């Protein structure tokens, strides 16, 4: 019994040390604890306690993660979904968070900004920007077909080529 209590205390200290460095999802923390060799009973008990104290909260993690990623180098809905699923967050929580922080209008705006930046980058290489290049770039950043088509339709390639000549 004492050994089990000691193991639980060690697991708790380890979890708090991890959480003091950065937020973790429930699954990430669980994986770390299992990797360290703690039993399922200890991990489950510890996770329940941490959830009750709000030290791990997948909803808050998802919101914070999305905000951070959007402010750094914007990504589309699909890439964010993929990244959050890899971190063990359920699809429902991801969708709620994305609907709150990344409505369609905002996603379109971000895609347009990225496309404009990419066009400037392509021009600086003395190449003519093409719809295909912009499409592939936005697709790699996780934007969906509908958003990409909207952005490509708004970009005036003739104007961008004229600006390059001036």
Q: What is the pTM of this model?
A: 0.81
pLDDT tens digits along 34-64: 999 999 999 999 999 999 999 999 999 999 9
Please say if the pLDDT value at position 146 is more than 80.
Answer: yes
pLDDT of residue 166: 37
Please say if the pLDDT value at position 145 is more than 80.
Answer: yes
Q: What share of the chain is helix, strand, coil (3-state, %, to 5)?
A: 80, 0, 20
Please say if the pLDDT value at position 19 is more than 60.
Answer: yes
Of the candidates 164, 163, 153, the residue with the CA atom closest to the CA atom of residue 112: 153
Please say if the pLDDT value at position 164 is more than 70.
Answer: no
**Sequence-separated (6 or more) residues with CB below 8 Å from residue 155:** 112, 115, 116, 119, 134
The percentage of residues in the chain with a pLDDT greater than 70, rounded to a whole number, is 90
What is the distance between the alpha carbons of residues 107 and 80, in angstroms, rounded to a whole number? 12
pLDDT tens digits along 58-79: 999 999 999 999 988 889 999 9
Mean of pLDDT over the chain: 88
Residue 38 near residue 11, CB atoms below 8 Å: yes
Lowest model confidence (mean pLDDT) among 10-14, 20-24, 74-78, 155-159: 155-159
pLDDT of residue 159: 46
CATH fold label, 58-101: Arc Repressor Mutant, subunit A (1.10.10)
Categorize the per-residue pLDDT at 160 as very low, low, confident or very high, splitting at 50, 70 and 90. Answer: very low
DSSP code per residue over 66-103: HHHHHHHS---HHHHHHHHHHTT--HHHHHHHHHHH--
């Amino acid at each position: 019994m004492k050994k089990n209590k000691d193991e639980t205390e060690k697991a708790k200290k380890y979890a708090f040390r991890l959480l003091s460095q950065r937020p973790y999802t429930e699954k990430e923390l669980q994986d770390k604890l299992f990797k360290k060799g703690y039993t399922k009973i200890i991990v489950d008990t510890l996770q329940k306690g941490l959830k009750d104290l709000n030290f791990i909260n997948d909803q808050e993690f998802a919101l914070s993660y999305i905000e951070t990623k959007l402010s750094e180098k914007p990504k589309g809905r699909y890439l964010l979904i993929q990244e959050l699923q890899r971190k063990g967050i359920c699809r429902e929580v991801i969708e709620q968070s994305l609907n709150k922080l990344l409505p369609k209008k905002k996603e379109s705006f971000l895609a347009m900004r990225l496309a404009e930046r990419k066009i400037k980058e392509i021009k600086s290489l003395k190449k003519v920007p093409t719809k295909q290049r912009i499409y592939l770039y936005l697709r790699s950043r996780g934007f969906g077909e509908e958003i990409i088509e909207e952005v490509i339709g708004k970009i005036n390639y003739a104007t961008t080529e004229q600006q390059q000549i001036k």
